[in-house]
Amino acid sequence: MRVLLTGAAGFIGSHIAEQLATRGHEVVPVDNLLPQAHSGVPEWTSDLVRGDVQDYDLMTGLLRGVDAVCHQAAVVGHGLDPSDAPLYVRNNDHGTAVLLAAMHSAGVRKLVLASSMVVYGEGRYVCETHGDVRPGPRVSSDLEAGRYEPSCPVCGDSVAWALIEEDAPLDPRSTYAATKVAQEHLASAWARQAGGNVWALRYHNVYGPRMPRDTPYAGVASLFRSALQRGEAPTVLEDGLQCRDFVHVTDVALANVLALENSVSGFVPVNVCSGSPHTVGELAYELATAYGGPPPRIVGGARSGDVRHIVASPAGARMLLGFEAQVGFAEGVKAFASDPLRA
């Protein structure tokens, strides 16, 4: 299979490129090397086309003879503040729209799209009295008072988190999340209009080698590791008990390869996760211990747009793709303490 891989020099894209090559596929790698993620051309790239998915003519040319597109190019992470919105929308949404238009012109009908757990907003919650409920956004007064857990919007009682499945409503609560939802909607519309087929892989908290260092455009694991590398304690917001699913980048790459190798009809979203939830505080503690650095500091507070718990069901990926994560939390975090990061 000949695959156009966007974002090929990036954290996840570079691992996908390696796994595709190992399985005998031909990769056409393209990346615009945004400074938010790259300080130069990474040493692990080869035959890289430096270009932007917003360049219609370039994309149309690269798509000749291509069987499928694996679209990883995006600005990710929490960013700085709402002033980042044009950067996110330009690269994530306009870039995706141009790519889809070029795919239509080139007659390429298969897309694997890098989506994210952030499309869900808060995860799934269950009230003992009212069953499944959807808490509203947390308010600053509660966060400032150290009240981090959502409550039932009907009775106000406490709720318990539960595994979220792919049919959950989409409820983006940050600029980045809004652009990922828009990417999914663009891809879904393209699939209907052009007779295309899309796997939308909703990554949960990805970590591993080649994460970008010292940047707000990266996941929490990178922020913790960057702090340790500077000789500082990882800073954990809230009380550290917020739950996530941390999935290793090699497993995410495997999910992409399986999606490329499996047929799909229309638009199909899939959670890509480990199936083994852990708290953010646990990640910080285990990483600091493995690194031999200072223990994490629990500082309270929360960033605007942060959610409390988001833990995925791995059942869809197992059933549809035959995907199961191979790297356990303890093994992966221990390795991540010494894995190379990208400057």
Same domain for 115 and 212?
A: yes
Same domain for 151 and 221?
A: no
Same domain for 231 and 112?
A: yes
* 107-130 pLDDT, tens digit each: 999 999 999 999 999 999 999 999
Q: What is the CATH number of the domain that holds 284?
A: 3.40.50.720
155 secondary structure, DSSP code: T
Under a CB-based contact definition with an 8 Å cutoff, are residues 2 and 21 in contact?
no
Answer whether residue 95 is part of any domain.
Answer: yes
At 40, the pLDDT band (50, 70, 90 cuts) reads low
Same domain for 10 and 133?
A: no
Same domain for 39 and 151?
A: no
Same domain for 157 and 235?
A: no
Same domain for 86 and 132?
A: no
Answer whether residue 44 is part of any domain.
Answer: yes
Secondary structure (DSSP) of 156-181: --B-EEE-B-TTSPP---SHHHHHHH
Same domain for 133 and 241?
A: no
Average pLDDT taken over every residue of the chain: 93
Sign of CA dihedral 134, 136, 141, 143: positive
At 300, the pLDDT band (50, 70, 90 cuts) reads very high
* 172-193 pLDDT, tens digit each: 988 999 999 999 999 999 999 9
Answer whether residue 343 is part of any domain.
Answer: no
Same domain for 11 and 130?
A: no
Same domain for 92 and 218?
A: yes
User: Higher confidence at residue 144 or residue 290?
Assistant: 290
From the list 237, 244, 239, the residue with the least C-alpha distance to 273 is 244
Give whole-number Cα distances, 202 to 24, 116, 270, 271, 332, in Å: 25, 4, 6, 5, 20
Under a CB-based contact definition with an 8 Å cutoff, are residues 92 and 118 in contact?
no
Answer whether residue 342 is part of any domain.
Answer: no
Position 39 pLDDT exceeds 60: no
Name the residue range of residue 320's domain: 2-123+164-337
How large a percentage of the chain has pLDDT more than 90?
84
Average the pLDDT over 238-252 and give the result. 97
**Count of domains in the chain?**
2
Identity of residue 124: R
At 38, the pLDDT band (50, 70, 90 cuts) reads low
Same domain for 37 and 159?
A: no
Same domain for 256 and 133?
A: no
